[in-house]
Each structure stands twice: as C-alpha cells, then as structure tokens.
Amino acid sequence: MPTPHPAPTSTTWTLTAHELPLRYVWKIARNASTTKTNLVVGARQSGRGSGGGQVLGRGEAAPNVRYGETPALLRAQFDELLAHGLGRVETLPDLAALLAARPVAAALRFGLEAALTECLAAAAGQPVWQWLGLPRPAARVATAFSLPIMPPGDVAGFVRTQNAARFRLLKIKVNADEGLDLLRAVAAALPGRELLVDGNETWPDADAVLRFLAEAATVPGLRLRLLEQPLPAALTADYHYLRPRAGLPLVADESVTDSADFEAIAEQFHGVNVKLMKAGGYGRGVELLRRTRAHGLLPMLGCMVETSLGIWGALQVSALADVHDLDGPLILQAEPFGLVREADGYLSAVGAG
C-alpha cells in the first residue's frame, strides 16, 4: 500500500490599506495628524487546515514617520517581496530568510510575521500565545490612555468627553514649550492620577529636562510615575547624566527599536517600551521584553496608532510586560475589526485575528 503524503502547502498573500480617521487631532512633539493609513497583511495557506483545508491569518502594519515608514513604501516593499518568492514562504524560517535577503520596514515585517504566525497556530489548533511558547495572557489587561498635545484650556473638556478618569494610568504627550502647562491642566482635572509623561525626544539636553522636572514637582496634585524618552536617542551622554538625577524612572522608546545594546540601555534608562511594530515581529518583540526584564529594567508594552488587529497581537505577548500602553484603537473614529474590547480601562481579546 503506498505511503500517504501530506497535501502540498502554498501561501497566498494580500495587502489591504485602511484609511482610519481619528477621533481628535493626534499631536505629539514631532508631528500632528487627523487620519492614519494602516495596512493589513493577509495570508492564506492551503493544505495545513483540518483535512488539508485552508487556514487564514492577518497582521497589521502601522507605518511610523519617525522611522521613515510610509504606506507607499510598505506597499512597494510588499510588491517586491511578492516578485521574489513571498508566495513560496510557508514557515517562519522561510520568511526570515527572505527578509534577510530583502529587508523591509519593521512595521511590514510585523504584519507579515503576525499573519503567518496566525496561520501556523491555527493549523496546530493552538492560540497564538501558546504556539509562541508564552504565558497565557490575563483575561483583562489594564491599559494606559494617552492625551495628545493640546491647548491647556482644552484639557478639562477632553478628559470629560473621553471619560479619561476610567484609566488608572494616563500618558501625557508633551513638548518642551507647553508641557508644564499641559501637566498643570491634567493635574487640575484629575488630581493625584498617575501620569506617564512622554516627550518623544522633545528636550534638547539633560539640564532642560531637570528644569522641567523641578518645576513639575511644585504643581499641586501632579503625580508623575514615569518619564518616557525625553531626549533624542543619540544623546547617550545626557541620558547617563540624567538617569541618576531624574527622581523618577526613565523609559526608553525611540532608543530601542528592533535591537539594542542592553548593557548601554541599562546605564541610561530604568525601563523599555517595546512595540511590536518597531520590533518587527513577535520573535524580536518577545526577545526585547525578556532581555529588558533580564537586565533589571521595567518591561512596558506599547503601540502605534493601531486597530484592534494590532492590539490583539500585542495582547498575545502581554504577560511579559508590567506596564501596558495599548490604547491605539481608542484613538480611531470607527475601529474596523472589533477584536479587542475595552471596559473600565481594561482590554480583553474577543476573537481570533
């Protein structure tokens, strides 16, 4: 009797753009926007499902201008991959080999890896977190909620309209010129609330940050918990000077992308904000979170402006982080996928990606 052979596997890939109007002007220290264009990678594999059927996977790619990423660039890179063998990719090592030969933006790398990972996990009959060998995520994950830069006089109305009081941790985007006034307004609206201040590299040097923190210490009702990336990533000497003098934990964001010298990072910061979009995949993101903790640093899991598809992916690795900043879908006017539910400041996954 002839030996049966497994059905052949093939992968069909798609890339679909989603125009995402925002609920309000999303302003940070380096730019402002009212809409975002994210891309969804689709993967369909034949021959892996039950009875040799199909399995499906999706992954989000949220381009970020800080890293020179645009929707047009990601589309061009995706088309280039299709022309050079993407359809023959069946496994993560296959994908890694292709991307080593033809590197692409980190956001697209994550979208590709996430879509393929979901296919492989579905074929194995496992949730993604289990297939990745990770601890089970909590059923409900507390998230920070971000306030963009805005006129201080608008803060009270924004807090009320967005019901920001339901979040235990608020993340306040600031710039060097108006940051203190914005924090005064937040403290007046929600006195005593824990705040994460995110500078997005806005201050020019360590002394300017220390002056800001000294003034912030005099504001009634202001309770700062963390300070995220106040200086440009290149100013390593300033970070060495600032770290023991700041008086609160410093968290790296732009200083850690898809790799980092953690010995050096540990001399500049107290924690790291890992984002799967800038890490370029589950594998690199998980490695960064684990290395963060191994070096005695606070592991934080963040996001770009993303739909629930991207945040669903982040929840798969959320057990590795102590602080979660996964409010991307809450910035959107009409979130298109409904894969994550938020209630009382907690997120829960409600479906497969």
Paired tokens of 330: 């809450």
Residues in contact with 279: Cβ distance below 8 Å, sequence separation at least 6, in sequence order: 106, 110, 257, 258, 285, 288
Q: Are 152 and 181 in contact (CB under 8 A)?
A: yes
Q: What is the pLDDT of residues 131-173, one digit of tens each?
A: 999 999 999 999 999 999 999 999 999 999 999 999 999 999 9
Q: What is the pLDDT of residues 238-294, one digit of tens each?
A: 999 999 999 999 999 999 999 999 999 999 999 999 999 999 999 999 999 999 999
Average pLDDT, the chain: 95
Of 198, 192, 183, nearest to 229 by C-alpha is 198
Report which DSSP code applies to 166. G
Cα distance between residue 107 and residue 17, in whole Å: 13
Q: Are 114 and 103 in contact (CB under 8 A)?
A: no
Q: What is the mean pLDDT of residues 281-308?
A: 98
Task: Report the 10 Å Cβ neighbour count for 348.
Answer: 14
Paired tokens of 140: 């409900």
Cα distance between residue 37 and residue 111, in whole Å: 14
Numbered ranges of CATH 3.20.20.120 in the chain: 141-349
Q: Are 309 and 349 in contact (CB under 8 A)?
A: no
In total, the chain counts a number of residues equal to 353
Numbered ranges of CATH 3.30.390.10 in the chain: 10-131
Paired tokens of 134: 């990770």
Indicate the CATH number for domain 141-349. 3.20.20.120
Cα distance between residue 285 and residue 132, in whole Å: 12
- Domain 10-131, what fold? Enolase-like; domain 1 (3.30.390)
Q: What is the pLDDT of residues 198-220, one digit of tens each?
A: 999 999 999 999 999 999 999 99
Q: Find the helix packing angle between 106-124 and 282-294, rounded to 10°.
A: 100
For 41, phi then psi, to 5°, come to -90, 130
Cα distance between residue 313 and residue 323, in whole Å: 16
Report which DSSP code applies to 333. S
pLDDT above 50 for 4: no
Write down the residue that tokens 């289990």 correspond to.
Answer: 130
